[in-house]
Amino acid sequence: MNARTLKLLLFALGALISGPALAFEPLPDQPPIPKDNPQTTAKIELGKKLYLDPRLSVDGTVSCNSCHNVMAGGDDDRATSAGVNGQRGGRNAPTVWNAAFLSVQFWDGRANSLEEQAKGPLINPVEMGNPDHDTVIKRLKQYPEYVAAFNDVFGKDGLNIDNLAKAIASFERMLITPGAPFDRYAKGEKKAIAKKARQGAELFQKIGCITCHSGPAFAGPPLPEGTGFFQRFPTFADNEFVKKYELDQDLGRYEATKNEADKHMFRVPTLRNVAMTAPYFHNGKVRTLDEAVRVMAKTQLNRDLSDDAVEKLVAFLETLTGPFPELTLPRLPEKSGTTTISAH
């Protein structure tokens, strides 16, 4: 274990022990940037085009943005997303906003980085439906503008699957929302949030929500990329919420690892902009934020909350909605006189 990892693990332990002060970390103005994928303006712009281009799917109908809409909360407002041929996925689409602050991606943490995550949906038969990555690259190579853009950003013969993933990940690292009312409060602007929200923040710590939702992203401590911060869900399964919303049907991380210890373990999701990302939980069964608060209290802390407590917690969670940066839609490359999409 290197010194940095030890330091961050001690930080995580501190979050569990000392709680309150650590909850008041504002979201940084910049996310972690990997050394092997530095940000450049041209790379980010290329990544934005790829992110928004449905022609990365086998039938030209599904883009990254279809399920993770950057013009909204970074998700798609559905319980589970629709992929090619109208197929439905098995889990709720996590928000892409502030995903750059998470050390692993997907509900089960099976991707160690944004770059790795970007490759997965392309060849998922339910999502974008391509038989392999080569199919995606062959299609993009038919667009001279894409070929030129990849060569400009990555050098000669730059259009390959690894560079495609790097470009998309670079764009996604721009999708952060620092400056939420709670951030301003954490920096000392005591009137940035209302009294009820302040009471909610205190309650959030007092009853133990901070145990899992710590750190600046409220998704656990900022661990090194690939480490992951996981918790069992549901922890307390003998209650009506679990039955009503079928919360124990998904085996979580076990589906990726086949390790018995990973059954019902999930990556702790960010609470940033949580008021904008209904419906809630891995299966999207819970439609409202106040109900999600009640569910979490019962399934994770074995607590029944009063209506007043729920109102205060919701008021606090609403202060985690940050200002969304302005995004402009790009013109996508075209192939004159023909189409690259096969008839389906």
SS3 of 281, please? coil
52 touches 123 (CB < 8 A): no
Whether 127 is catalytic: yes
* Residue 119 φ/ψ, nearest 5 degrees: -80, -30
Find out whether 136 and 56 touch, Cβ atoms under 8 Å.
yes
- Kindly name the residue from 25, 115, 116, 127 that is annotated as catalytic: 127
Which among 219, 224, 255 has a CA at the least distance from the CA of 99? Answer: 219
Structure token pair of residue 2: 């290197």
Token pair for residue 275? 């008021």
Q: Helix H segments across the chain?
A: 3-18, 20-23, 41-52, 64-67, 114-119, 133-140, 144-154, 161-172, 181-186, 195-206, 240-245, 254-257, 289-301, 307-318
Residues in the chain: 344
In the structure encoding, which two tokens stand for residue 55, read together? 């022609």
- Number of neighbouring beta carbons within 10 Å of residue 16: 14
Residue 186's nearest CA partner among 207, 217, 212, 155 is 217
* Residues annotated as part of the active site: 127
